[in-house]
Structure formats: C-alpha cells, structure tokens
Structure 1
Amino acid sequence: MESFENKAKLSQLTTKQNALNLQIENLSAQRSLIEKTIKTAEENYTSEKQSFDNWVQTRKTLGSPDKDQEVIDRAKRLDEIHKIKDAWKVKLEAKQTEIETVSKQNIALQKLVNDEKTEAENKFDSAVKHYDLKVFLIRLFIVAPILALGIFFFIRYRRHKFWPLYFGFTLFAFYAFFFGLVPYLPSYGGYIRYTVGIIVSGGLGYYAIKTIGKYIEDKQAELQVSTEERSKKVQMEVAEKALENHYCPSCGKDFIIKKWALPIKGQEIELQYVTTDFCRYCGLELFSNCKKCENKNFAHLPFCSSCGTKTSKD
C-alpha cells in the first residue's frame, strides 16, 4: 500500500507535525514551570498572611494597629504577593490557550495525514480488485474451454463405448471449475458468487428434470412394445441383476408375490417364495420351462440351469 501513498506530501505533513509536537512539548514544559511558580507564590502568600495576622493580633494588645504605618506597609506587601500570584495565573491561562491553539493545528494536520492515507488505501483496494479480476479472467480463459468440452462430452458421448474416458475428462473439467476458478471469482459483495451458484444450480436442475422426464417417457414407450420385443432387448447383465434382486428387468417391479417361513429340522427356518411367470405390472415373461428338461428358468438368461440347453430367448 505504501507505493500508492503521496510520499512527498506525507513527508511535508509529518515534518509540520513533528514541529508542532515539539512546540507543544516546550509549551507544556513552560506551563509546568508557571504552575510551580504559582504554587510557590500561593505558599508565600499563605505564610505571609499568617505572619501578618499573628503580628496584627499582637499589635492589638499594645496600641492602635489601624494607625500604625508598619501595619500599612505589611498589608501592601501582602497585596503585592497576591498580585504576583494573579499575574502568574494570567500567564498560565495564556500559555494554556497557546497550547490548545497549537494542538488544534496538530489535529488538523493529523486529519490531512489520515485523508491522504485513506486515499492511498482506496487506490490500493482498487488495484487489488483489478489484479484479482485479471487473474480470474486468465483462469477463465483456460478453464472455460475445458468446462465446455467436459459438458459436451458428458451430453454427447455418455453412451459411447469409451464413455469412461469422456466421463473422466468431465470430472476433471468440474474439478478445474470448482477448485481452479470459483475461489478466484471476484466478490463484489458476493453477488457474482451467488449468481454463478444460481446459474449452476438451475442448469443442473434443468438437466436432472429433463433426464428424469425422458427416462419416464422411455419407460412408458417401452411398455407399449410387445413383451416379445422387450424380452429381446434385455441384456444378460441386467437379467442377472434383476434375478438376484428379484425385480422385472423391464419395469423394475418386484416379481415376488409373497414369502413365508417353514420349520425344517427342529429350529431351522427355510424361506419359501411365490413368484409369477409373467410380470403383473407390465406383462413381461419372467420364467419359462426348459423345452428339454421342463426345469423352470429365468426367461432372460441364455441357458437352462438344469441341463444347459439354450433357452427359447436365444
């Protein structure tokens, strides 16, 4: 921040301040000396008055003190001491006024110094904001194409045979955005950060709603196709997972109607399940009998689990 200060002007103001401070110190020292003088004068006056009172009391017993010239002389001396004390008090008030005047000048100079430093701080803050904006724009120039390419890959190639590579680049793009760009967003009271958050949240929300809506539409359209056509589209991995988790590979509904426990060999319990050959929600064939051994198999797996014969699906 010192590089934004007007060093010549601050040096001039500081020199004046130092001179005023030195003047205030000298005036304060003079005031202290006057205060000590006044204190000494007050002590002298008190001592002289006490002596005078005692002397007058003594003279009353001996003669007429009112006509005594010595009494008059001592009274005049006492008045002179009092006048000296008053004169020093006048000097003290004048010195105090002078100190206050110089102090006001010093305060005015300090205000000028503060104003100059405030102006330097404002220039410094403006330069810092400009620098931060420059850093942000440079990072934006680097990160924006990466982010745009990552979003493009995610939308266009998420079903590609090399989708893990595209998805990995998309994750890297989001990492570059949130860790390489967002921390350098200019604040401006937080409005830019809030705006970016709203835009990102709105974009992700719109994509999520659109994806879910498309999924529901695809499922509804899929249910309009005949069970034979849907059965042909079921992949082996999906069929294995559907059988393991007992749900229809087309609509995702549980194909177990009910289950109960039967006692076997005393305390041991065996669970019995009841299933259907066709899905009771979408009508897809789930289980079929082997043409060779009549063993019941999951209709979407390629071979019979009993004799190994290919199923009718293949």
Structure 2
Amino acid sequence: MSDKKDRLAIIQFIEMHSLIVECFAMAATRAIGPRAAPFTIALAHWPFVALPQEPLMNTSQAYSRPARLLQIASWIIAIVFALFLDMLGSLVMRDLMFAPHGGPPRVEQFVDRAAVAPLEAQTRDLERQRSALDDKAQTLRLAYDRANTDYRDAQESLRNWIATRTATGDNRNDIELLARTRKLDLLQASVIDWQRRRDTLADQQRALEARGEQLNTQLAQAQAGADARYAAAQRRYELTVFGWRLALTLPILLVAVWLFVKRRKSRYWPFIYGFGLFALCAFFVELVPYLPDFGGYVRVLVGIALTVFAGLYMLRAFQRYVERKRAEMQQSQSERARTVVYEKAIGAYQKKLCPSCDKPWHLGGDQVSFCIHCGLRLFEVCSCGARNFAFFPFCNQCGTHVTHADDHDAGAGQADSAANSAHQ
C-alpha cells in the first residue's frame, strides 16, 4: 500500500501545483476581478482531480452511480464551502483597514494649526478687503464712465456751437463761450478726479494681491509640511495593514498546506479541499488590491516557496515509488498479485496497464495472458471457457469466482508436486 500512497501523493501534489498556477494566472489578469474565478476553474476541472482514496463506500461500490453522485456532491460542497469562506475573508480583509487607529490617516491631522490658523485668518480678512475694494472699484468705474460721458457730450456740444457761431459770423456771445468753456473744464476735472481715484484704488488692490500671494506661499509651505507628514503616516499605515493582512492570510495558507498534506484522505476531505481553495485565493488573489510597493515580491516569493515545496515532495514521493517498484519487481508473481487492490485493478484494466509495473500490456496484443514487461499473469480462463482479468473476482460470462494468479501458481505447484509423487 505504500507505493499506492506515493502515487497518490504525486498526483495530488500535481493538482495542488496546478491550483497555485491557476491562482497566479487569475491574479495577473485581475487587479480587482471576479472573486469566484479560481473556484470556477476548479469546478470546471473537478472530474480530472483524483479523489482521496478512502471512499465512504466499500470497494464493490467504487464505480457505482451512487458513488459517482457522491463524488460530484462532495466537490460541490468543497466549492460552495470555499466560496463562502472567500466571502467571509473578503469582508475581514476590507474591515482590517479600520483596525489601526480607527482607519486611515487624514491630511487634516498633520496640519500645524498654531501656524496655519493666523495665516487663514489673515487670508479671510484679506478676502473681505478685496471684496470691498472690488465693490468700490465697480462704483468708481460707473462714476468715471458717467463723468467721461458728460465731458464728451459737453465737448461735442461746444464744438457744434462754435461751428454754428463761425458759420453765422456772430461774435457777440463771448460770455456764453466762456461759460461753456468753464463748464467743459469742470467736467474734464471731474473725469480726471474719478480716474485718480480709480488709480489709487488699483494701487490698493495690487498691494492686497501681493499680500495675498505672500499668505498663499506661507500656507503652501505649511501644507507641504503637512503633506510630507501625512505621506509618512500613510506609508506606516499601509505597512501596518499589510502586515495584519499578511499575518492573517499566510498562516491560513500554511494551515491549508498542512491539512492537504496530512488530512487530504480523511472522511471530511471536501472541507479540506474547500479550505485549500479559499486559502490559495485569499493569498494570491484577495491580497492583490492591498499590496504595497514591495508586496508583489512577498506574494511571488511565497508562491515560489510553495512550488519548490510541492516539487520536492512530489520528486521524493516519486523516488520512493520507483524504489518500491524496483523492489517489487524482485518478488514472485504470487506476492505481487496479492498487493494489487481492487480499485487499482479496475483503473489498470480500463487503461490497459499492468497493475504491478504500470506499463501497457496491450503492446503484446489483445490476447496476452502475461505482462510482457514484468511477467505477471493478467488473464485467467474460467471453467466455462471465458477469459477474465485475473484480478476481478467474478467471471464475466458465468458469474462464478475466477481463479487468481496466485491461486493458479499455487495450484500449478500442487499439481506438479502430485505428479512427481505419482511418478515416484
């Protein structure tokens, strides 16, 4: 049975390695992708995965319809169990961001209020002054526009009046000319006064703008210091949360590997397989959106370590299997025949392999009786004349018990002994 366990270990570690590769592929194509994708892949491939070799049914039911239905139901349980564990894990991974100090840091926490508060107060006062000056500038502009309009109208009226006086040759209204000229001078002086006021106000506005730029520079410097402190705190926070998430997912992954190695053939194997799928997805997929800059190295290094571990375990199991096979080939046919269990005989017959050396026997033709590689008797002839696989218990024609290879050898030995005795 030890070689059987080694073969199962090889097969199942190949399965675990393929699951790791699938999770790596899903992580590469999903920054934030369908959470159930790895389980969908596993579900799509479940008929090709070897089941634990301690079935709940006896050997006569190994390939019956109820056993097959139980196999399907067990894998469905494993997949559903993994999905619900993944949902729970995603909620825990999300809520871990609020564990350190109640959540991520905020920029406002790192602003020097003692230095910034006076600057903000001066900025608000400056804004009020600027608003008042803007209103005053608007009023001055309207007054200037009216005065300028009146001056231009008076200037145009005087020009027209002088033109009329020149055309008529009437020089008797010098007093009116002087009055019109004085009025025009007053209007021009008013325009100049309003323009002077506007210029003075513009100077005040420019002074406020300069003061505002100075305050903005000081506020920007204070904000830059706050941003630097916030960036450092955010970095520490991300590392803390990543450490917590890694401390949660990595032990789960290690426990899943241990359960797979030690308990994968137990009666509760669907839950072990489901937990393993959840652990792989949690570490290689769910952890991806929360990785810091160097987090990818952690994930890849753990994947490499798991792959190396699985590969070394598989190679050692294969080496032990080869050594046992080599030792088995030194045994007699009867001893080798007794080590062949019924489930292995069924699989070997379906694949046309020798159940002892695992090499194809049909290379010698479909009517062979012995393995052409190791010499093990493979087929027996029943008393009814039907040809049967030597490791099946009943004849396929008459339904009686078939003589096994070891019984045949023993019977042949007894017959030879009896013949020798009779001859003597």
Report the TM-score, using the length of structure 2 for normalisation.
0.56
Equivalence for 1:32: 138
Decide whether the 8 Å contact of 2:377 with 2:405 is kept in 1.
no
Does the alignment pair 1:197 with 2:299?
yes
Cα offsets for 1:4-30 (capped at 9, x unmatched): 333343332221111111111111122
Q: Which residue of 2 aligns with 1:55?
A: 161
Match of 1:188 in 2: 292
**2:193 corresponds to:** 87
Q: Is the 8 A contact 2:345 2:392 kept in 1?
A: yes
Range that drifts further, 141-150 or 35-44 = 141-150
Q: For the residues of structure 2 that align with 1:55 and 1:231, how far apart are their CA atoms?
A: 140
- What residue in structure 2 maps to residue 175 of structure 1? 278
User: What is the Cα deviation at residue 44 of structure 1?
Assistant: 1.1
Structure 2 Cα separation of the partners of residues 27 and 61 of structure 1: 50
Structure with the largest fraction of strand: 1
Counterpart CA distance in 1 for 2:167 and 2:401 is: 154
**Would the aligned equivalents of 1:13 and 1:113 in 2 still touch at CA under 8 Å?**
yes
Task: Give SS of 1:288's match.
Answer: strand
Q: How far 1:239 sits from its partner (Å)?
A: 0.4
1:140-179 equivalence runs, <5 A: 140-141=246-247, 144-145=250-251, 147-152=253-258, 154-155=260-261, 157=262, 163=266, 172=275, 175-176=278-279, 178-179=281-282
Over alpha carbons, which structure has the higher Rg?
1
Q: Count how many residue pairs are aligned between Structure 1 and Structure 2.
A: 294
Aligned counterpart, 1:78: 184
Go from structure 1 to structure 2 and tell me whether the alpha carbon gap of 1:13 and 1:250 turns closer, same or farther (over 3 Å shift): farther
Aligned partner of 1:4 in structure 2 is 110
Q: State yes or no: 1:277 paired with 2:380.
A: no
The question of 1:287 aligning with 2:393 is answered: no
Question: Would the aligned equivalents of 1:304 and 1:311 in 2 still touch at CA under 8 Å?
Answer: no
Q: Which secondary structure state, in structure 1, belongs to the residue aligned with residue 380 of structure 2? A: strand
What's the secondary structure of 1:297's corresponding residue? strand
Summarize deviations over 1:277-304 as a string: whole Å, max 9, x none: 23456654321334x5554221233555
Q: Would the alpha carbon gap of residues 214 and 241 (structure 1) be closer, same or farther in structure 2, given more than 3 Å must change?
A: same
How high is the TM-score relative to the length of structure 1? 0.72
| 2:414 aligned with 1:312 | no
Question: Is 1:238 matched with 2:340?
Answer: no
Cα deviation code 1:241-271 (max 9, x no counterpart): 222444433455555569xxxxxxxxxxxxx
Q: Which one has a larger percent helix, Structure 1 or Structure 2?
A: 2
Kindly indicate whether the alpha-carbon contact (under 8 Å) linking 1:4 and 1:120 is maintained by their aligned counterparts in 2.
yes
**Unmatched tracts of structure 2, length 5 or more:** 1-105, 408-424
TM-fit CA distance, 1:132: 4.2
Question: Is the CA contact 2:242–2:291 (under 8 Å) kept in the aligned structure 1?
Answer: no
Instruction: Write out aligned runs for 1:95-110 (5 A).
Output: 95-110=201-216
Q: Relative to 1, partners in 2 of residues 1:313 and 1:113: Cα closer, same or farther, differing over 3 Å?
A: farther
- Structure 1 residues 253 and 295: alpha-carbon distance in aligned structure 2, compared to 1, 3 A threshold: same
Equivalent of 2:392, from 286, 297, 301?
301
C-alpha spacing 1:130/1:275, structure 2 compared with 1 (3 Å) = farther
The Cα of 1:134 is off from its aligned counterpart by: 3.3
C-alpha separation in 1, matches of 2:376 and 2:319: 18
* Contact map agreement 2:112 2:222 (CA 8 A) in 1: yes
Partners of 1:124 and 1:174 lie apart in 2 by: 38
| 8 Å Cα contact 2:395/2:401 also seen in 1 | yes
Q: State how far apart, in whole Å, the 1-side matches of 2:297 and 2:187 are.
A: 83
* 1:25 partner SS: helix
Name the Cα RMSD after superposition. 4.0
Farther off after superposition, 5-14 or 110-119: 110-119
Give the counterpart letter for 2:137 in structure 1.
R
**1:96-135 deviations in Å (ceiling 9; x for gaps):** 2321321232243234334444544443444344344334
Where in structure 1 are there 5+ consecutive unaligned residues? 259-272
Q: CA shift at 1:198, angstroms?
A: 1.7
How high is the sequence identity, in percent, across the aligned residues?
23
Q: CA deviation at 1:137?
A: 3.7
